[in-house]
Amino acid sequence: MAKVEVNHSKYEGIRFDIQDENVILVNILETIPYEYVGKDTMVTIPTTEFTSVCPWSGLPDFADIIISYIPNEDLVEMKSLKYYLTSYRNVGIYQEHATNRILEDLVKLLKPKYIKVVGNWNARGGLGTEVVVEYKEENSK
Amino acid sequence: MAKVEVNHSKYEGIRFDIQDENVILVNILETIPYEYVGKDTMVTIPTTEFTSVCPWSGLPDFADIIISYIPNEDLVEMKSLKYYLTSYRNVGIYQEHATNRILEDLVKLLKPKYIKVVGNWNARGGLGTEVVVEYKEENSK
Amino acid sequence: MAKVEVNHSKYEGIRFDIQDENVILVNILETIPYEYVGKDTMVTIPTTEFTSVCPWSGLPDFADIIISYIPNEDLVEMKSLKYYLTSYRNVGIYQEHATNRILEDLVKLLKPKYIKVVGNWNARGGLGTEVVVEYKEENSK
Amino acid sequence: MAKVEVNHSKYEGIRFDIQDENVILVNILETIPYEYVGKDTMVTIPTTEFTSVCPWSGLPDFADIIISYIPNEDLVEMKSLKYYLTSYRNVGIYQEHATNRILEDLVKLLKPKYIKVVGNWNARGGLGTEVVVEYKEENSK
Amino acid sequence: MAKVEVNHSKYEGIRFDIQDENVILVNILETIPYEYVGKDTMVTIPTTEFTSVCPWSGLPDFADIIISYIPNEDLVEMKSLKYYLTSYRNVGIYQEHATNRILEDLVKLLKPKYIKVVGNWNARGGLGTEVVVEYKEENSK
Amino acid sequence: MAKVEVNHSKYEGIRFDIQDENVILVNILETIPYEYVGKDTMVTIPTTEFTSVCPWSGLPDFADIIISYIPNEDLVEMKSLKYYLTSYRNVGIYQEHATNRILEDLVKLLKPKYIKVVGNWNARGGLGTEVVVEYKEENSK
Amino acid sequence: MAKVEVNHSKYEGIRFDIQDENVILVNILETIPYEYVGKDTMVTIPTTEFTSVCPWSGLPDFADIIISYIPNEDLVEMKSLKYYLTSYRNVGIYQEHATNRILEDLVKLLKPKYIKVVGNWNARGGLGTEVVVEYKEENSK
Amino acid sequence: MAKVEVNHSKYEGIRFDIQDENVILVNILETIPYEYVGKDTMVTIPTTEFTSVCPWSGLPDFADIIISYIPNEDLVEMKSLKYYLTSYRNVGIYQEHATNRILEDLVKLLKPKYIKVVGNWNARGGLGTEVVVEYKEENSK
Amino acid sequence: MAKVEVNHSKYEGIRFDIQDENVILVNILETIPYEYVGKDTMVTIPTTEFTSVCPWSGLPDFADIIISYIPNEDLVEMKSLKYYLTSYRNVGIYQEHATNRILEDLVKLLKPKYIKVVGNWNARGGLGTEVVVEYKEENSK
Amino acid sequence: MAKVEVNHSKYEGIRFDIQDENVILVNILETIPYEYVGKDTMVTIPTTEFTSVCPWSGLPDFADIIISYIPNEDLVEMKSLKYYLTSYRNVGIYQEHATNRILEDLVKLLKPKYIKVVGNWNARGGLGTEVVVEYKEENSK
Ligand SMILES: [Ca+2]
Ligand SMILES: [Ca+2]
Ligand SMILES: [Ca+2]
Ligand SMILES: [Ca+2]
Ligand SMILES: [Ca+2]
Ligand SMILES: [Ca+2]
Ligand SMILES: [Ca+2]
Ligand SMILES: [Ca+2]
Ligand SMILES: [Ca+2]
Ligand SMILES: [Ca+2]
Ligand SMILES: [Ca+2]
Ligand SMILES: [Ca+2]
Ligand SMILES: [Ca+2]
Ligand SMILES: [Ca+2]
Ligand SMILES: [Ca+2]
Ligand SMILES: [Ca+2]
């Protein structure tokens, strides 16, 4: 049997409002002072509510994001992190890039001893994608 | 101890791009003919990827949506449903309204014997919300 | 940001070998005599290994299929059912049709008091599909 | 659509009775002698019933707390630990501080070979927080 | 072996700040208009963060509370419900009374067609307690 | 509100029959020869049915006990172990002591290369207790 | 291969202290007044800590017990119930009898509209036993 | 590619010792008197350890068997049931027959008000089989 | 109460057909050539369907068996393994011996770099038994 | 009882269309450039939808496949991977070979620092098979 011919051209014309990476609210991120400087604390922040847009298909991606870090002198302020993560909502960005971008923005903000970002992206076509990126401060064990 | 004074005024100025309900792609919905007219089939379509915007807080809501229906003569075409549900993404709409709006749009499209829409919305402030709405064709048992 | 231009035309040329419904091995189905005629037994046969092909996309669909029935005089022979279900493997057929076709073929074979077929199809684009079809013998309670 | 204007000023006036850290019942903590001094025992005490107050929002936080330690000469007396943990109930304290304060109070009380406190705090705005703090006696392997 | 004599008299002197039921913020409860009057919607609001105080032991109780109702003309406003439930935090009240009080306050507020409150209280001494209370409007089916 | 006055003095007079540690059936323990001497086998014996009595409250404690060991020349005979563990049933003994006592009795019996006893005791007042004790033969790696 | 001959006669001599049913503390049971007389509340009390002794084998049985009832005028006082259930600890009683005895003692105490007792007894020889007994007040619907 | 030719003829010669149904130990079944005659008790006996032999393939089948019944005057004695079920171990019998045979043997033994036998047989070739058979005493509601 | 006298002598006379270890079909085991010699592959074969007979009680034992190995030049042929494991069905053998015997037979057959056999035996008298045995080729890392 | 004679010769004549390994679409695989060259990212791609054909039985096998890799300069393009994995659908190939073939094809494509392929194949005859293969770039730590 040949592939069924269905006119799906109407979907071609749809363009949701895909934004550029420059709308990511990196400057909204705030820190609060870590009061136990010199002592290693592992802070882990999970969320099941991350979404961005696939630049290839124009359709939204959804991920669980888990951020874990050991602070040096700064903790991330949670409400600012919420706004920061929300600002990816309509941005067209690959899953691997989004995960790495979050890592890099938080490294710049926090200068942590250690940080890991896990992005567990919902399956498309039956294939899921988990992206794990890590950063370790030089000279930290 | 008194409530700590923190200047959160900067969050006040943030306005994500909240859209009106009229951007909902109700016209994109398509049907395909149901080939077993007269026989009751229950079709259930779950998704964990629904998101809209809370008109009060300006922040996104996330829900699992489960649509169940018994067709008369029409099945919903799945790709059109995907685009329809995606179009709520930046719409400011209360959770109860969104759930009911989906029901009503699908009743108009499908004229089903029966349809139920369940919206299981993620908790805010520790309180979740599940909304269950149903429609039964008159004279159907 | 505009939708990224990616040349996916190469996927257009791929045609897996999609077969017509007439290759379904309906004639291989066998029965064995039910030795408790007159007493109601509910027999439920689940499998997590059903696959067919989507006629629209040309890509495989996967489902859990659960068959439940109350025999009159015949039980389905299990190995013949295995071959029957396997024969959908490369057939282009909609999910709703496949589920109903299994019901109808088994009604013809078994003439049961009752039979239900549940097809729980894997999600595509984040939307799953469960199809539930039932048959009750006339005059059965 | 602009953000909906809702008058929530009435919530501004609410002040639950937030207490200072000095009401924490650190002096109620008692020990009982460990009868296997020189042998390493790992004692783990989980609870799902910890609550304190967020100093920023004035609203309660809830956490699962898991305390694990290897005693030197003293075990914590369980009823005194129950009262100690309960005394955080109306204290305004950040989640990171509460977790560390519990660690420090128990280090002072028990002088253990090792102790870890895990605070797994319920999500706010879709973001959870787990705080893990550890202490190792100097010269212990 | 006789029961061990331990001096627990110090716990006798502890009095956490137990409040009277009149501090419950019943007047903070607000409604929002239900826009589908005449159509039955089941709204279910679960929380895992309810706590009050046992009047007998002076120690906190913890419960999962699940509120389900079918509105007539009013929906409960979620933030006001959050403050209402939070106000039980230091109130000395039996588990059965707390569950029933929530039901009665919401019946007065919402005049719903139906409402159920489930309180699933954490075990004490190895015995849990679940309390289920329901209200049905007269003449409702 | 002051703490409610309830007369619970009647519970004071209750004395269940608490036995001394000397009723523990240590001499009933038997071994069977290990037929693979020189080869390391890890044998793990879980039970969810351990109970003893809290010497402080006079009320029963319940635990899951998991015994794991690497034999030298002897395996514990299972029925004798069952009787041994059952004999703690009415013994007044602290949870930490019971867990260690089991370890020590089995070390004496089996002279194993390695043994670990985990006691996972049910929560009291919302606080659970897990006790993990280990023994390694000297010179074993 | 013939059945292996092992001398288990030593187990024959063991007699744990099995008590008669007359030690069950039925008189310790207390009620507290139900303040919503005329309104149906379902109270469910689960415990995973019930134990008695098998009169046939002389070895302990363990069960999860779940008591559910709709009060008329009385609630069972929880601490008295705890002592009542604990008093079965060394009583030789069949599983079916124990479950029914609990039902009958609580019917006498509470005169409830409805009561159900579920005893879910741990498996012996690979066979579990669940016993469900119910009582409905005459004339109650 | 043609089907690979593998010489599996050696498996043809294997004959495990398949027994006839007449070795089933129906006469070992014993009852004990039900002491609450006239009151409905539901007794449920699950086991995960049932095995018999497929008469077609000569290979063992494994099932979870769940027996539920409401006694009239007799309870099944558990140890006799254990031996009865064990006696199917090497019997060649179809899954549907085994499940029904257990029902019928227990109906004869117990003359119960109601009995149900569920046989949940492990999958073969990816297809599982659950068989549910019931018996209701005439004139019982 | 004294231990109840029940005449269980009839069970004494029952002798299921217990076979000797020499019926184990060790010679049916076959290998197939491993085509990636020199590269480490971990092959893990779980089954929930292992059964043998306890030589002490004459009653069947049931286990989950998990075999994991790194081949040198040979893979075990799966159908031959199935027959091999099935041949333990009526053999009287201790759980520790059965687990080790499987290991040793497979070491002889496969000469693997590494192999582990886990036998997770169902509980008897509330005590489970897990047996873990390993073999490492000399000079393998 | 002798093995039942059933004429299953009709199944012998069935030949599903088994394809040779040369239809595997290795050339469809595409890469996209990894933009964080020099930083280690672990990308994990799970799917529950892999199927191929057993060359021995002629019947389909089903597996969960999990691919994990650390890229050097290239990421696998997901849609091309989907088509690649789909092309095994009718190929007759042993489970161990299929798992290794995927590894080798991806090593050639990606030249990764590290890659692991796990194939978790559905049970046949009660025996499952998990195959784990790994590749590490020389000189990578
Ligand atoms: Ca997810
Ligand atoms: Ca979700
Ligand atoms: Ca939810
Ligand atoms: Ca599936
Ligand atoms: Ca929690
Ligand atoms: Ca809880
Ligand atoms: Ca509970
Ligand atoms: Ca337990
Ligand atoms: Ca436990
Ligand atoms: Ca615990
Ligand atoms: Ca249990
Ligand atoms: Ca099973
Ligand atoms: Ca099954
Ligand atoms: Ca098992
Ligand atoms: Ca087990
Ligand atoms: Ca699978």
Report CA E94 to chain centroid distance, whole Å: 10
Residues A127, A120: Cα–Cα separation, whole Å: 12
**Do F75 and I96 count as a contact with CB atoms less than 8 A apart?**
yes
- Positive or negative: CA dihedral E35, E38, E41, E42: positive
Residues H34, H41: Cα–Cα separation, whole Å: 10
Q: What is the mean pLDDT of residues H70-82?
A: 95
Structure confidence at residue E14 as a pLDDT band (50, 70, 90): low
DSSP H81: H
Taking alpha carbons only, the member of C79, C86, C136 closest to residue C112 is C136
Q: What is the mean pLDDT of residues G56-67?
A: 93
Q: Is the pLDDT of residue F119 over 80?
A: yes
What is the ipTM, given to two decimal places?
A: 0.91
CA dihedral B40→B46→B51→B56, nearest 10 degrees, is 60
Nearest to H41 among G96, G127, G128 (CB): G96
Residues H14, I79: Cα–Cα separation, whole Å: 12
Q: Is the pLDDT of residue F1 over 50?
A: no
The reply to whether D97 touches chain A by the CB within 8 Å rule is: yes
Residues F95, D54: Cα–Cα separation, whole Å: 35
pLDDT in tens, E1-13: 334 444 556 666 6
Structure tokens at C69: 């029935």
Binding residues of G for substrate: 95-96
Q: Mean pLDDT across chain A, nearest whole number? A: 90
CATH class, domain C46-141, is alpha beta
- Between D94 and G132, whose confidence is greater? G132
Residues B97, D4: Cα–Cα separation, whole Å: 15
CATH class, domain A38-136, is alpha beta
Q: H/E element holding B97?
A: helix B95-110
Ligand 13 centre to CA of C120 (Å) is: 17
Structure tokens at B103: 């029901």
Q: Mean pLDDT across chain B, nearest whole number? A: 90
Q: What is the mean pLDDT of residues A109-114?
A: 98
> Minimal Cα–Cα distance from C3 to chain H, Å?
43
Ligand 8 centre to CA of F64 (Å) is: 6
Taking alpha carbons only, the member of D76, D70, D10 closest to residue D40 is D70
Report the pLDDT value the prediction gives residue B4, as an integer from 0 to 100. 41
How many CA atoms, within 13 angstroms, populate the side-chain half-sphere of residue A26? 14
Report the pLDDT value the prediction gives residue I5, as an integer from 0 to 100. 43
Q: Is the pLDDT of residue G9 over 80?
A: no
Report the pLDDT value the prediction gives residue E5, as an integer from 0 to 100. 43
Q: Mean pLDDT across chain G, nearest whole number? A: 90
- Between F75 and F139, whose confidence is greater? F75
What is the DSSP code string of A60-108?
EEEEEEEEEEE-SSEEE-HHHHHHHHHTTTTBB--HHHHHHHHHHHHHH
Q: Is the pLDDT of residue E84 over 90?
A: yes
Report the pLDDT value the prediction gives residue I122, as an integer from 0 to 100. 97
Report the pLDDT value the prediction gives residue I3, as an integer from 0 to 100. 40
Cβ density class C52-66: b for 16+ within 10 Å, e for less: bbbbbbbbbbbbebb
Binding residues of F: 95-96
What is the DSSP code string of G77-118?
PHHHHHHHHHTTTTBB--HHHHHHHHHHHHHHHH--SEEEEE
Question: For this structure, is H54 an active site residue?
Answer: yes
Q: Which residues pair with B69 in a beta bridge?
A: B43, B115
Q: What percent of chain B has pLDDT over 90?
A: 76
Report the pLDDT value the prediction gives residue E8, as an integer from 0 to 100. 58
Topology of domain E41-136, per CATH?
GTP Cyclohydrolase I, domain 2 (3.30.1130)
* Chain position carrying tokens 């693979």: F36
Ligand 12 centre to CA of I65 (Å) is: 13
Cβ proximity of I119 and I65 under 8 Å:
yes
Taking CB atoms and an 8 Å cutoff, what residues of chain I touch H79? Answer: 8, 11
Q: Mean pLDDT across chain H, nearest whole number? A: 90
**Per mean pLDDT, which range of C111-120, H11-20, H71-80 is the poorest?**
H11-20
Q: What is the mean pLDDT of residues J65-94?
A: 96
CATH class, domain I52-141, is alpha beta
**Do D3 and B58 count as a contact with CB atoms less than 8 A apart?**
yes
Q: Is the pLDDT of residue G140 over 80?
A: no
**Do J96 and I46 count as a contact with CB atoms less than 8 A apart?**
no
- Ligand closest to E119 (CA) is 7
Report the pLDDT value the prediction gives residue H5, as an integer from 0 to 100. 43
Structure confidence at residue D14 as a pLDDT band (50, 70, 90): low
Angle at CA C43, nearest 5°, toward C37 and C49? 145
Structure confidence at residue D10 as a pLDDT band (50, 70, 90): low
Ligand 7 centre to CA of E5 (Å) is: 32
pLDDT in tens, A22-68: 999 999 999 999 988 988 999 999 999 999 999 888 899 999 999 99
Q: What percent of chain G has pLDDT over 70?
A: 87
- Between H110 and F17, whose confidence is greater? H110
Ligand 16 centre to CA of E121 (Å) is: 38
Cβ proximity of J70 and J42 under 8 Å:
yes
3-state DSSP of chain C: CCCCCCCCHHHHCCCCCCECHHHCCHHHCCEEECCCCCCCEEEEEEEEEEEEECCCCCCEEEEEEEEEEECCCEEECHHHHHHHHHCCCCEECCHHHHHHHHHHHHHHHHCCCEEEEEEEEEEECCEEEEEEEEEECCCCC
Q: Could you tell me which CATH number the domain at G20-136 has?
A: 3.30.1130.10
pLDDT in tens, I3-29: 444 455 667 666 667 899 999 999 999
> Which chains pack against B, by 3+ Cβ pairs within 8 A?
A, C, D, E
Burial-class residue H21 by CB neighbours within 10 Å (0-12, 13-18, 19+): middle
Q: Is the pLDDT of residue B31 over 50?
A: yes
Cβ proximity of B75 and B32 under 8 Å:
yes
**Do H132 and C41 count as a contact with CB atoms less than 8 A apart?**
yes
Question: For this structure, is C105 an active site residue?
Answer: no
What is the DSSP code string of J13-79?
T----PBPGGGS-GGG--EEE-TTTTS-EEEEEEEEEEEEE-TTT-SEEEEEEEEEEE-SSEEE-HH
Cβ proximity of J43 and J117 under 8 Å:
no
Taking alpha carbons only, the member of H99, A79, E129, B13 closest to residue D126 is A79
Structure confidence at residue B13 as a pLDDT band (50, 70, 90): low
Q: Is the pLDDT of residue B90 over 90?
A: yes
Structure tokens at G40: 């149906």
Which residues does D11 contact at the CB level (< 8 Å), separation at least 6? Answer: E79, E83
Residue C22 dihedral angles phi and psi, to the nearest 5°: -70, -5
Q: Is the pLDDT of residue G14 over 70?
A: no
Give the pairing type, strands G31-33 and D60-70: unpaired
pLDDT in tens, J1-39: 334 444 556 676 666 678 999 999 999 999 999 988 988
Q: Is the pLDDT of residue G3 over 50?
A: no
Report the pLDDT value the prediction gives residue E10, as an integer from 0 to 100. 65
pLDDT in tens, F72-103: 999 999 999 999 999 999 999 999 999 999 99
Architecture per CATH, domain B54-141, reads as: 2-Layer Sandwich (3.30)
Nearest to A131 among J41, J46, J48 (CB): J41
Nearest to C41 among H124, H125, H131 (CB): H131
Residues E113, E139: Cα–Cα separation, whole Å: 9
Burial-class residue F42 by CB neighbours within 10 Å (0-12, 13-18, 19+): middle
Taking alpha carbons only, the member of B99, B104, B94 closest to residue B118 is B99
Q: What is the mean pLDDT of residues F104-112?
A: 98
Would you please indicate which residues of I are annotated as catalytic (active-site) residues?
54, 61
The yes/no answer on whether domain F40-136 falls in CATH 3.20.20.105 is no
Q: Is the pLDDT of residue J77 over 80?
A: yes
Structure tokens at H65: 């068997």
Q: What percent of chain H has pLDDT over 90?
A: 77
Residues B65, C123: Cα–Cα separation, whole Å: 13
Taking CB atoms and an 8 Å cutoff, what residues of chain I touch F42? Answer: 130-132
Q: Mean pLDDT across chain F, nearest whole number? A: 90
Taking CB atoms and an 8 Å cutoff, what residues of chain I touch J126? Answer: 47-49, 82
Structure tokens at D23: 């009401």
Look at chain I and count its residues: 141
> Minimal Cα–Cα distance from A78 to chain D, Å?
8
Residues J83, J30: Cα–Cα separation, whole Å: 11
Taking CB atoms and an 8 Å cutoff, what residues of chain H touch I48? Answer: 62, 122
The reply to whether H14 touches chain J by the CB within 8 Å rule is: no
What's at A47, amino acid-wise?
T
SS3 state of residue E117: strand
The reply to whether D43 touches chain F by the CB within 8 Å rule is: yes
pLDDT in tens, F29-46: 999 999 889 889 999 999
Report the pLDDT value the prediction gives residue C75, as an integer from 0 to 100. 95
- pLDDT average per 10 residues of sequence, chain C (141 residues): 49 73 95 91 97 91 98 95 96 94 98 98 96 90 56
What is the DSSP code string of F24-77?
S-GGG--EEE-TTTTS-EEEEEEEEEEEEE-TTT-SEEEEEEEEEEE-SSEEE-
pLDDT in tens, D97-121: 999 999 999 999 999 999 999 999 9
Ligand 15 centre to CA of F94 (Å) is: 28
Q: Mean pLDDT across chain J, nearest whole number? A: 90
Residues J94, I77: Cα–Cα separation, whole Å: 11
Report the pLDDT value the prediction gives residue A39, as an integer from 0 to 100. 87
Taking alpha carbons only, the member of H55, H63, H72, H43 closest to residue H140 is H72
Q: Considering H54, H64, H74, H105, which one is annotated as catalytic? A: H54
Q: Which CATH number fits domain J48-141: 3.30.1130.10, 3.40.50.10320, 3.40.50.720, 2.20.25.90?
A: 3.30.1130.10
**Do I62 and G126 count as a contact with CB atoms less than 8 A apart?**
yes
Give the pairing type, strands J114-124 and G31-33: unpaired
Q: Is the pLDDT of residue B74 over 50?
A: yes
pLDDT in tens, I44-95: 999 999 999 998 788 999 999 999 999 999 999 999 999 999 999 999 999 9
Q: Is the pLDDT of residue E115 over 90?
A: yes
Report the pLDDT value the prediction gives residue H1, as an integer from 0 to 100. 31
Structure confidence at residue F138 as a pLDDT band (50, 70, 90): confident
